[in-house]
Amino acid sequence: MSTLESAPAWLSTTLAESELGAWWREAISPYEQLTHSLTTADFRQARLALNGAERIPDSSELYSDLAAKRFEIGVLLLAHIFIEKIAGLPQELCLAFDRFNPILAVAATLNKRAQLPLTIMPAPDAELGHWVLPLAPAGLTETDLGLCRLILANCPIAAADQLRKAIPGVHLVPAHPQTVATALSNAPSHHWLTIVIPALDPEQACRAIQGIIDQVTKHVTVFVISPNEPPPESRLETLCRQCASELDISIVQITVFDVGPYDAMNLGIKLSKTPWVYFLGIDDSLASAKVLDEIMNVANGAPDGVRMIYGNVEIQGSGHGTYDKQIYAYAFDYDRLQRQTPCHQAIFYRVEALREIGGYSLKYPVCADWHTNLRLWRTGNPIFIDLVVARFARGGISSLVLDDQFFEDLPGLWASYK
């Protein structure tokens, strides 16, 4: 039974007579050999699921104003069916399209925890823009929306703010979709660790990268995520070529219209193909050449329930009650998280754990890592190892800005996650 024949009559007519059918065929065609055939029951279950989740605010409107709503409803239903058909497929798969597809955009936003393969497509033009305004159904939380599996490419910077509001969790890049897909293909799936380095200037990431190159154990992917492109024949490009030809390190530079370091870190989580992820600042460095080897050995022996491995940092510079060369902060329990948190430069996370909670909250521009540790601690079974993981340089945003909103929320957050 074909897609058109199996659809309810009111949707079948729309599919046959409009661009909706072309959008559906474009969305599903890369997966046709991997998924089951579509049936009428799929549509019925999708409609019930959407109504039950209040994705259509008033189900009576489905029939009272069908002519005006059938396209909107068709996009929602097909997006839901798309999620059901391809959820659970290997995460290494990546969709890259040369035009905007509303069904894929809605599916990526409604994805929640289904972990769809990454989807890359051009940003919508004015003609299609109304299909993504808004895509955030009422009642969904930040956890549901934080890491939608969508990157919009060919994005003009003037449209970035509007698109972020329209599609929660989206990431926006100026490059062509195929350019982004090709860059991501250079990140091997056999690596054990992804290291994410947010940088205003990608050239400033070279110091941190050199410390990764010097490691005894490598097998890592490095994402340098920046709002700016490196200049031609930059030192970063030289390091990329060296790593590609001589070392088992893949360095991928992504230019993105982000809204700060935690947004860039969320993109790194979204792009990662490895089981573990780690975050470094441009002024930070791994403490010794054996750090990754020791962490990898612990990670390889850790039970599946262990979602965090953390150690210490050596602080470079003083501030906020710390002193230069201080070793911070040894083992934590949940009670201590009322007052302090391990530095994110000391923590290795399972990627799936960060995806499940929607990544870092952009509500907290300085303390989103503390907030993340609160959310994960009780279920993350963290392992502490008495090892100096990194040298953490004072002087960044965390040293200069007080996150008033987080400290106002901290007592309630601590109690709720306890």
In sequence order, the 6+-apart residues with CB closer than 8 A to the CB of 160 are 172, 257
Q: Tell me: the pLDDT tens digits for 46-55?
A: 555 545 444 4
pLDDT at 333 over 60: yes
pLDDT digits (tens, 9 = 90+) for 140-173: 555 555 678 889 999 988 888 888 877 778 899 9
Helix, strand, coil fractions of the chain, as percent rounded to 5:
45, 15, 40
Please say if the pLDDT value at position 85 is more than 80: no
Q: Higher confidence at residue 150 or residue 62?
A: 150
From residue 55, give the alpha-carbon distance in Å to each of 59, 79, 147.
9, 12, 19
Q: Is the pLDDT of residue 3 over 50?
A: no
**pLDDT-derived band at 233, boundaries 50, 70, 90:** confident
Q: Would you state the pLDDT for residue 46?
A: 55
pLDDT at residue 56, as a whole number: 44
Using 50, 70 and 90 to split pLDDT, how confident is the model at 44? Answer: low
Are 199 and 225 spatial neighbours (Cβ–Cβ below 8 Å)? yes
SS3 assignment, position 226: strand
Calpha distance 396→28 (Å, rounded)? 45
Asked whether the beta carbons of 168 and 150 are under 8 A apart, the reply is: no
Q: What average pLDDT score do residues 334-346 get?
A: 96
> Among 69-78, 310-319, 323-332, whose mean pLDDT is lowest?
69-78
Averaging pLDDT over each range in 186-195, 232-241, 341-350, which range is the top one?
Answer: 341-350
Binning pLDDT at 50, 70 and 90, where does residue 57 land? very low
Residue 217 has, within 13 A of its CA and on its CB side, a CA count of 11
39 pLDDT more than 70:
no
> What's the confidence (pLDDT) of residue 25?
80
* pLDDT at position 62 over 50: no
Q: What is the pLDDT of residue 315?
A: 92
Number of neighbours of residue 402 by Cβ within 10 angstroms: 11
Contact assessment for residue 307 and residue 349, using Cβ atoms and an 8 Å cutoff:
yes
Predicted confidence at residue 116, as pLDDT, reads 75
**DSSP codes, 255-290:** E---SSHHHHHHHHHHH--SSEEEE--TT-EESSTT
The answer to which of 24-38, 42-56, 101-115, 333-347 has the lowest mean pLDDT is 42-56
- Contact in structure between 116 and 107 (CB atoms under 8 Å): yes
- Note every long-range contact of 231-235, with CB atoms under 8 Å and residues 24 or more positions apart, other chains counting: 231/203, 234/202, 234/203, 235/203, 235/206
Burial category of 29 from C-beta neighbours within 10 Å (exposed 0-12, middle 13-18, buried 19 and up): exposed
Which pLDDT value is given to residue 240?
Answer: 85
- Measured over the CA atoms of residue 226, residue 404, residue 393 and residue 371, the dihedral's sign is negative
Q: Is the dihedral of CA 234, 237, 243, 245 positive or negative?
A: negative
Q: How confident is the model at residue 131 (pLDDT cuts 50, 70, 90)?
A: low
pTM: 0.86
Longest dimension (CA), the chain: 71
The answer to whether residue 111 scores a pLDDT higher than 70 is no
**CA 26, 28, 33, 39 torsion: positive or negative?**
negative
pLDDT of residue 163: 84
Q: Which of the pair, 400 or 392, is modelled with greater confidence? A: 392
* Structural domains of the chain in order of their starting residue, each with its CATH number: 3-180 (no CATH), 186-417 (3.90.550.10)
- Give the count of beta carbons closer than 10 Å to the beta carbon of residue 333: 9
Q: Are 191 and 220 in contact (CB under 8 A)?
A: yes
Rounded Cα distance between 5 and 12, Å, is 7
Give the least confident one: 25-39, 168-182, 291-305: 25-39
Per-residue buried b or exposed e for 86-115, using 16+ beta carbons within 10 Å of the residue's own CB: bbeeebeebbbbeebbbbbbbbbbbbbeeb
pLDDT confidence tier of residue 1, bands split at 50, 70 and 90:
very low
Instruction: Please provide residue 277's backbone torsions phi and psi, each rounded to the nearest 5 degrees.
Output: -140, 150
Helices (H), 255-400: 261-271, 291-301, 351-356, 368-380, 397-400
Q: What is the pLDDT of residue 408?
A: 96
Other C-beta atoms closer than 10 Å to the C-beta of 343 total 23
The answer, yes or no, to whether residue 133 has pLDDT greater than 50, is no
